[in-house]
């Protein structure tokens, strides 16, 4: 009987994942967003049915131990893949602008949301920190989908936005790990092991993949899993979060995985088909609609705080670095999105007892809204056209001087004036 219930539970969860996948294709939405929404609907429907003991059955969809493991493994691999998707050359090319925009995009909403939750919302300090971290994020998944859809991923502007989003999320995962870690020997052990792994991993993993590239058993992927589990266990020992080393390892191995595209494709299929649905469905099932309805006003206010803080942090810098008003608005709005790391941070707070179910429901709803509202506004009213983008490129080139070598397009791209002139023009998007 126990085995039949196990497979039955698995069938329910995978069935919900299938429904979410079909809905995301039908309505052309992020599958992660739809999985969260399906989890919210299924979890609250199950609570309602269980309340009335329909057919005398227990209808709750609380995750058991193995579902919790798959969900946790999914969040670790999702974070690792996000880091591994970064093009190292892209970060080096526009390091100054990328870091400035990305760091401001993290810091302003982190401080704004945390201070609002503490001084106005009446949350305790740990809950306020979780609020600030969860709302500091930028959704790389949403931004990347928009870039591909519009063709902006082929432009200097699109590449800059993507790189800045990665910096923002790096700030988020570092803050999540640093704010709640135990500052004792366990943190020292974790930090020392992480530094050693990040130093040695790129060359060793590159050699390991080349040595065992043709084996069907994928020893290279298993070695990466071993590293992620080992560092994750040390992070947990220090009361940190396993997604922190996963993101850093992904960043360190980005160059290696850029040469292992077929491996990345297979790994991505495994992650998104099997593991991440358990994570996002589980995150959605923890949202209580009754609590959400009671705090609907707070949802609107926190969403406004996040977007306003992003505007204060990002927009002036975008203008300072030579972007036209339209591109500055567009960049700011896309960097106001949030999804994956926002839900990871909120779920971390709930699982560790830093926030309650009411606060979790509020934060996840704000995160979901931030994935939709800024994107719609940006795509509807501020999507870059040919003329503004050309003007931006022209003005950047005009500001470039041999003496400075660090203004205009040279500063924007991180290249020299000569390299800027020799480079092919970026794709323009209508």
- The per-residue b/e assignment along 4-14, b for 16 or more CB within 10 angstroms, e otherwise, is eeeeeeeeebe
Question: Which pTM does this prediction carry?
Answer: 0.75
Contact 316, 295 (CB under 8 A): no
Question: Is 80 exceeded by the pLDDT of residue 424?
Answer: no
| Whole-number pLDDT of residue 379 | 82
Residue 77 in any domain: the answer is yes
Query: Mean per-residue pLDDT for 314-332?
Result: 91
| Whole-number pLDDT of residue 57 | 59
Contact 78, 271 (CB under 8 A): yes
Question: Is 90 exceeded by the pLDDT of residue 227?
Answer: yes
Query: Mean per-residue pLDDT for 365-379?
Result: 88
Question: Is 70 exceeded by the pLDDT of residue 278?
Answer: yes
Contact 267, 83 (CB under 8 A): no
Residue 58 in any domain: the answer is no
Contact 122, 350 (CB under 8 A): no
Residue 14 in any domain: the answer is no
Per-residue pLDDT of 85-125, as tens digits, reads 777 777 777 788 889 999 999 999 999 999 999 999 999 99
| Whole-number pLDDT of residue 143 | 82
What band does 71 get if pLDDT is binned at 50, 70 and 90? confident
Residue 53 in any domain: the answer is no
Residue 274 in any domain: the answer is yes
Shared domain check, 403 and 380: no
User: From CA 275, how far away is CA 225, in angstroms rounded?
Assistant: 14
Shared domain check, 364 and 412: no
Shared domain check, 402 and 353: no
User: From CA 389, how far away is CA 23, in angstroms rounded?
Assistant: 34
Query: Mean per-residue pLDDT for 394-402?
Result: 44
Shared domain check, 259 and 397: no
Shared domain check, 413 and 330: no
Shared domain check, 402 and 294: no
User: From CA 304, how far away is CA 370, in angstroms rounded?
Assistant: 9
Question: Is 80 exceeded by the pLDDT of residue 214?
Answer: no
Shared domain check, 411 and 326: no
Per-residue pLDDT of 46-65, as tens digits, reads 877 776 666 655 666 777 88
Question: Is 80 exceeded by the pLDDT of residue 301?
Answer: yes
User: From CA 301, how far away is CA 292, in angstroms rounded?
Assistant: 13
Domain that holds residue 119: 66-384
For the ranges 5-9, 105-109, 136-140, 213-217, the lowest mean pLDDT is seen at 213-217
Question: Is 50 exceeded by the pLDDT of residue 426?
Answer: no
Per-residue pLDDT of 122-155, as tens digits, reads 999 999 999 999 999 988 777 876 776 677 767 7
Q: How many other CB atoms sit within 10 Å of the CB of residue 92?
A: 12
| Whole-number pLDDT of residue 231 | 94
Shared domain check, 273 and 167: yes
Q: What share of the chain is helix, strand, coil (3-state, %, to 5)?
A: 80, 0, 20
Residue 50 in any domain: the answer is no
| Whole-number pLDDT of residue 425 | 44
Give the residue with greater pLDDT, 235 vs 51. 235
Query: Mean per-residue pLDDT for 379-401?
Result: 55
For the chain, what is the domain count?
Answer: 2
Question: Is 90 exceeded by the pLDDT of residue 403?
Answer: no
Query: Mean per-residue pLDDT for 344-355?
Result: 91
Shared domain check, 198 and 126: yes
CA distances (Å), origin 357, targets 72, 346, 371: 19, 10, 21
What band does 414 get if pLDDT is binned at 50, 70 and 90? very low
| Percentage of the residues of the chain whose pLDDT score is greater than 90 | 33
CA 376 from chain centre, in angstroms, equals 19
Question: Is 60 exceeded by the pLDDT of residue 416?
Answer: no
For the ranges 33-42, 303-312, 410-419, the lowest mean pLDDT is seen at 410-419
For the ranges 73-77, 141-145, 314-318, the lowest mean pLDDT is seen at 141-145
Shared domain check, 258 and 309: yes
Phi, then psi, of 180 in degrees rounded to 5: -125, 10
User: From CA 87, how far away is CA 312, in angstroms rounded?
Assistant: 28
Shared domain check, 397 and 304: no
Residue 428 in any domain: the answer is no
Residue 13 in any domain: the answer is no
Give the residue with greater pLDDT, 226 vs 412. 226
**CATH number assigned to the domain comprising residue 115:** 1.20.1530.20
């Amino acid at each position: 009987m126990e085995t039949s219930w196990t497979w039955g539970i698995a069938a329910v969860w995978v069935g919900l994942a299938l429904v979410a996948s079909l809905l995301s294709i039908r309505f052309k939405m992020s599958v992660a967003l739809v999985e969260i929404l399906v989890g919210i609907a299924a979890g609250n429907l199950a609570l309602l049915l269980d309340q009335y003991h329909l057919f005398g059955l227990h209808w709750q969809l609380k995750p058991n131990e193995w579902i919790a493991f798959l969900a946790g493994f999914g969040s670790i691999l999702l974070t690792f893949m996000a880091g591994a998707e970064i093009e190292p050359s892209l970060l080096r090319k526009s390091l100054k602008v990328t870091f400035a925009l990305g760091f401001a995009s993290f810091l302003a909403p982190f401080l704004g949301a945390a201070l609002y939750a503490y001084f106005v919302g009446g949350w305790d300090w740990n809950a306020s920190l979780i609020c600030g971290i969860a709302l500091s994020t930028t959704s790389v998944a949403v931004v990347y989908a928009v870039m591909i859809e519009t063709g902006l991923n082929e432009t200097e502007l699109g590449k800059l936005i993507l790189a800045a989003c990665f910096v923002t999320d790096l700030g988020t995962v570092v803050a999540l790990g640093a704010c709640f870690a135990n500052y004792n020997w366990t943190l020292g052990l974790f930090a020392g092991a992480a530094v050693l792994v990040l130093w040695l991993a790129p060359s060793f993993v590159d050699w390991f993949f080349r040595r065992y590239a043709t084996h069907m058993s994928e020893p290279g992927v298993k070695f990466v899993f071993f590293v992620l589990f080992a560092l994750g266990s040390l992070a947990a020992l220090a009361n940190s979060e396993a997604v922190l080393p996963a993101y850093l390892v992904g960043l360190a191995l980005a160059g290696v995985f850029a040469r292992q595209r077929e491996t990345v494709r297979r790994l991505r299929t495994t992650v998104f088909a099997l593991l991440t649905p358990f994570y996002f469905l589980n995150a959605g099932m923890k949202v209580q609609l009754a609590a959400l309805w009671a705090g609907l006003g707070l949802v609107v206010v926190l969403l406004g705080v996040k977007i306003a803080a992003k505007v204060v942090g990002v927009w002036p810098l975008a203008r300072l670095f030579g972007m036209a008003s339209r591109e500055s608005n567009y960049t700011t709005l896309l960097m106001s999105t949030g999804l994956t790391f926002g839900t990871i941070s909120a779920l971390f707070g709930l699982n560790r007892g830093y926030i309650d179910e009411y606060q979790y429901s509020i934060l996840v709803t704000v995160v979901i809204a931030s994935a939709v509202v800024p994107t719609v506004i940006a795509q509807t009213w501020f999507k870059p056209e040919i003329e503004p983008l050309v003007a931006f490129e022209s003005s950047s080139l005009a500001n470039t001087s041999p003496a400075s070598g660090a203004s205009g397009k040279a500063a924007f791209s991180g290249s020299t004036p000569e390299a800027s002139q020799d480079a092919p023009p970026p794709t323009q998007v209508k």
